[in-house]
Amino acid sequence: MDFFAMTLSQRTAAGIRQSVEQEGNVGHVYTNSLSLSCVIIADKEYPSRVAFTLIGKILDEFSALHSKQVVASTIAPLAFPVLKEYFVKYQNPHEADNILKVQKELDETKVILHNTIESVLARGEKLDNLVAQSEQLSTQSKSFYKVAKKTNSGCCSIQ
């Protein structure tokens, strides 16, 4: 992974964002205008937009914390304590990225609305059946009334 990250950062020009797939993983890399590179290696399912958002935050904060001269002259690793917090926060991209969070909520809402519409349509079909049965019952009761009236009028006359 170190070799992969080093190769990606060396082959990425300033201002370029790219994603390279390697053995089931994707390396997301960005080199800023100060020639600082950041590489995130994630699985294929991790959204690249979220990875590049994280890379941008890391590079911005690292540049603000350490000057270009310090970075260029130092061989030892430089302290960057916020990095662990970012790794924890961005483990779940849906929680870290507001757009993904909204998209997930929209997808859930769409499923709920779809189910609601299906149940309303099913109720509408049931209501149509009830109306048809009601009309049929009304027709039968009118026929029964006419037959009963005819039958009653011929059999019993009071004088």
Single out the residue in 96, 125, 145 at which a domain terminates.
Answer: 96
Is this model's pTM higher than 0.75 or not?
no
159 assigned to some structural domain: no
Single out the residue in 61, 79, 96 at which a domain terminates.
Answer: 96
Domain range holding 146? 98-153
Interior/surface letters 60-89, b for 16+ CB within 10 angstroms, e for the rest:
eebeeeeeeeeeeeeeeeeeeeeeeeeeee
158 assigned to some structural domain: no
For the stretch 113-130, pLDDT in tens is 888 888 887 787 888 888
My answer on whether 112 and 135 are in the same domain is: yes
My answer on whether 130 and 148 are in the same domain is: yes
My answer on whether 90 and 111 are in the same domain is: no
Q: How far is CA 11 from CA 4, 7, 27, 31, in A?
A: 11, 6, 12, 10
For the stretch 56-81, pLDDT in tens is 988 888 888 877 766 666 666 777 88
